[in-house]
Structure 1
Amino acid sequence: MAKNSSPLSNKTVVILGLTKSTAQLARTLQQKGATVKVSEANPKDNVLEAARELSALKPEPETEFGKNSPAFFEGAHQVVVADGIRADTPPLPELAAKGIPVAGETEILLREVDIPIIAVAGTGGKTTVALLLKAMFDTAGRKAVYVGDMGESLAGFVASGASPEYLILELSSERLENLRGFRPQISVLTSMQPPFPDRYTSPEEFQAVMRNMIRNLDEKCAIIYNFRDANLKNLVLGNPAPKWVYRRKDPALLGPEIARIYKGSFLVNQREMVWTDTKDRELYDVRDFRPFGLHNKDNLMAALNVAKLAGLHRDAIQQTIRNFDPVPHRLEFVKKKGGVRIVNDSRATGIHTLRVALEAFPLDPVILIAGGRDAQSDFTQLTDVVKGRVKTLILVGEAKEHINRCLGDHTETYLVGTFEEAVLMSYQKSREGDVILLAPGCESYDMFVSYEERGNYFKKYVDEI
């Protein structure tokens, strides 16, 4: 449960960075008896909504805007850094040199939690794995709380004083950056494939951030990871926690010794999945699992491994497999019209996720809608999959000219001016048996405030066809 008492009671805590999340954190810390101050480098008008939430607190925290002055932090017993702010941001190094404790927002909140944590991290699949786990626990009648992109906030959970059996915690790399004392009972690593977030200057820097997930594990913990991912294999190498893996083929293909010691799950074929712990073996029917693509089978295997470690019954897991709805904007089936399936994968914001989306339809001609914010990504990496899978490519947004230069010679390609025009043209070009797929391969910020808004407009325009 979330702890009732706090080591920060009667202490002064200064938060660096004002967001809606840290405003909620300030409320939680006040409830725990701390005196809270907030320093924000941006002008107040830039963070007005969060500032309003902060000003509603009683007593209202002392604030400064437009700067992070070292004098404001004098007398602090603890400095808390908002998720997403790097540890080398001034004046954090100066404060740390003075011996003032500095910790990330997520770390401070996790210190208030004393229940087992199932942590999920990686470059893809985190939300689906977390939601699958939440559904499995719910179906089994076991209490778990999901904190993440589509769940409750961590500050809200801590403030609630709830007492679930497990906390399912989805962690972005930004949240992992400033975690030092983290020790989840179960760590799930879904993938570690480029392109990595732009904030990291090298793959090694990103790997160091991901290592914060598992640096404090011991033999009483567990790591679950994708056996196909060489980067994850290197990351977990030498870690003392027991390993449970998942892969798309029978481990017997790797030899009898691997098959004998294999612990985890694997696909037998497109209809069946197996979980084994070297002694027991359970078979699951996955024919009715609705999310598209082999990558979603990977997500299911990761969740299956966790569920078995947590002692969930086979029947509850099988029922979840049959009933689980795909996550919005992640290969989300929208409708079927005129024999054409229409799928929304607005969350595919990079080259790797665009490839994964296309590979989800190995037998169907795809009419692909792509484009968005131009990051000058190397779309020539997709030449093979576009040649093999894409019947028609419709490009829109800031990146359309760049993507056309990379891929336009490899399939029928059209450049259009508006997102609505892209959707209408996709249906005009389609024939029975085709798949219309929104998988932009780009961020949404040239035309929309988020990938969610882009996906919602896509569904709106599809409904109007």
Structure 2
Amino acid sequence: MKAIKQFENKKVLVLGLARSGEAAARLLAKLGAIVTVNDGKPFDENPSAQALLEDGIKVVCGSHPLELLDENFELMVKNPGIPYSNPMVARALEKGIPVWTEVELAYLISEAPIIGITGSNGKTTTTTMISEVLNNGGQSGLLSGNIGFPASEVAQTASSDDTLVMELSSFQLMGVDAFRPHIAVVTNLMPTHIDYHGDFEGYVAAKWNLQNQMTADDFMILNFNQDLAKELAQKTAATVVPFSTTEKVDGAYLENGSLYFKGEKVMEASEIGVPGSHNVENALATIAVAKLSGISNQVIKETLSAFGGVKHRLQYLGDIKDVKFYNDSKSTNILATQKALSGFDNSKVILIAGGLDRGNEFDELVPDIQGLKLMVILGESAERVKRAADKAGVAYLDAKDVADATKIAFENAEAGDVVLLSPANASWDMYKNFEVRGDEFIASFETLKGE
């Protein structure tokens, strides 16, 4: 960790706790800042706030009093999920107080170079693939960021021999200033989080903050399947390395079923350990990073062939009586489910779908679900999903929850079939988050396996 002095005796407000907020508060205190933490959860119900107070850090809990900002803070570090419309954030900006997220702190203290990965879909899978390839190639790729390991925590113990492999959300990237990855990846850009960013242009601008400080000595890896990426390639000082499944590019590409990097064959697409066209894209992005990092083709091939996926993202659980089970609970939108289905023969797939009703229809999904063996439908959005199933000519059954759906799916499956949980909906109508939903699917699989 770099011994930086810029926070000594500076008043900093950390807004919002959770794991990243606590990590930021502790790091700032270690760097000599005068830290105040403000969190909406009452102190009595807030173990993180209690622990910080015990360690001598000031905490204000239970509300967000605007008058707190009259205490001459020089910086606010906010939880990424807190929108800029929040009164505390808006008031800070009015006062000219910089508002960061903790990934900026991670960059400032990190001795390790950073590989930053962002995008609408595929971030977690690509981040994990890159980390595994680096580690298997004798380098140290430390997972960090939006993948569940606060960047400012991981950066404290990283040395110059390590690399921070950092998943970055648009929320995090709105709060950076000096942040500069040596290699950056944008997996793809689709309209999402519009409620937070206001419009697609705002969302893209947030993502593109990733490259603000990059130079020609750094590498920007872009998905040239998208015209938008080709446009953005003209708007960065970084050296652009494209990847594509549709054309031969001066980077990583798919040609006649094989994956290449700058004319050199690396492996067959069919050897990738996880199915789906989207995972070919993720693998190509990973290959680009690996080759730029000096990893051999053999290590890349062995790693990507053995890759078993990420929990809740097209995660292969195993089979029961030759029926395969895949947990894709993280597919909380139509696009993610479309990508998941692209890796299978629909005639052998029983799809479990449905969840939070956001008012949208599922007509876009109709071409992708045609020919499915069966759908098992659940959740608030069930009637809307059923309308799509009717248009696609797909039979369906109702389920009351994921456990029930898993049982129904298995009862209707035959040897060679696939039971796929890929809901195309958020989970919040029934479950706290997609992880809890996916865990119920995993538990249901284990129960069926033991019967």
Give identity over the alignment, percent. Answer: 28
The equivalent of 2:13 in structure 1 is 14
TM-score by length of 2: 0.92
The equivalent of 1:439 in structure 2 is 422
**What is the identity, as a one-letter code, of the residue corresponding to 2:439?**
N
**What is the identity, as a one-letter code, of the residue corresponding to 2:414?**
R
Q: Would you say the 8 A contact 1:3–1:161 is kept in 2?
A: no
Cα drift, residue 163 of structure 1: 3.7
Q: Would you say the 8 A contact 1:14–1:80 is kept in 2?
A: yes
Does structure 1 residue 208 correspond to structure 2 residue 205? yes
Cα drift, residue 303 of structure 1: 0.7
Q: Would you say the 8 A contact 1:345–1:455 is kept in 2?
A: yes
Any stretches of 5+ residues in structure 1 without a counterpart? Answer: 252-261
| Match 1:56 to one of 35, 54, 62 | 54
Cα drift, residue 296 of structure 1: 0.7
Aligned partners of 1:149, 1:204: CA distance in 2, in Å?
22
Cα drift, residue 73 of structure 1: 4.3
Q: Would you say the 8 A contact 2:78–2:102 is kept in 1?
A: yes
**What is the identity, as a one-letter code, of the residue corresponding to 2:48?**
A
Alignment of 1:335-414 (within 5 A): 335-362=318-345, 364-387=347-370, 389-409=371-391, 410-414=393-397
Using a 3 Å threshold, how does the CA distance of structure 1 residues 210 and 150 change in structure 2: closer, same or farther?
closer
The superposition leaves residues 428-451 of structure 1 with CA deviations (integer Å, 9 ceiling, x where unpaired) of 222233221110111112222221
TM-score by length of 1: 0.90
Q: Would you say the 8 A contact 2:83–2:196 is kept in 1?
A: no
Does structure 1 residue 264 correspond to structure 2 residue 264? no
The equivalent of 1:222 in structure 2 is 219
Cα drift, residue 41 of structure 1: 4.2
**What is the identity, as a one-letter code, of the residue corresponding to 2:47?**
E
Alignment of 1:61-100 (within 5 A): 61-100=58-97
Cα drift, residue 158 of structure 1: 3.1
Does structure 1 residue 155 correspond to structure 2 residue 137? no
Does structure 1 residue 109 correspond to structure 2 residue 109? no
The superposition leaves residues 6-42 of structure 1 with CA deviations (integer Å, 9 ceiling, x where unpaired) of 3102222111223232112111111111111112345
The equivalent of 1:132 in structure 2 is 129
Using a 3 Å threshold, how does the CA distance of structure 1 residues 13 and 143 change in structure 2: closer, same or farther?
same
Cα drift, residue 348 of structure 1: 0.8
Aligned partners of 2:29, 2:121: CA distance in 1, in Å?
35
Aligned partners of 2:90, 2:446: CA distance in 1, in Å?
53
Query: For 1:111, what is the secondary structure of its paired residue?
Result: helix
Aligned partners of 1:365, 1:347: CA distance in 2, in Å?
22
Query: For 2:109, what is the secondary structure of its paired residue?
Result: coil
Cα drift, residue 250 of structure 1: 5.0
Aligned partners of 1:374, 1:13: CA distance in 2, in Å?
40
Q: Would you say the 8 A contact 2:119–2:169 is kept in 1?
A: yes
Using a 3 Å threshold, how does the CA distance of structure 1 residues 66 and 137 change in structure 2: closer, same or farther?
same
Aligned partners of 1:290, 1:74: CA distance in 2, in Å?
54
**What is the identity, as a one-letter code, of the residue corresponding to 1:380?**
D
The superposition leaves residues 125-157 of structure 1 with CA deviations (integer Å, 9 ceiling, x where unpaired) of 111111111111111111222203445321212
Q: Would you say the 8 A contact 1:123–1:192 is kept in 2?
A: yes
Q: Would you say the 8 A contact 1:346–1:451 is kept in 2?
A: yes
Aligned partners of 1:458, 1:97: CA distance in 2, in Å?
47
Aligned CA-pair RMSD = 2.2
Any stretches of 5+ residues in structure 2 without a counterpart? Answer: none
Query: For 2:300, what is the secondary structure of its paired residue?
Result: helix
**What is the identity, as a one-letter code, of the residue corresponding to 2:35?**
V
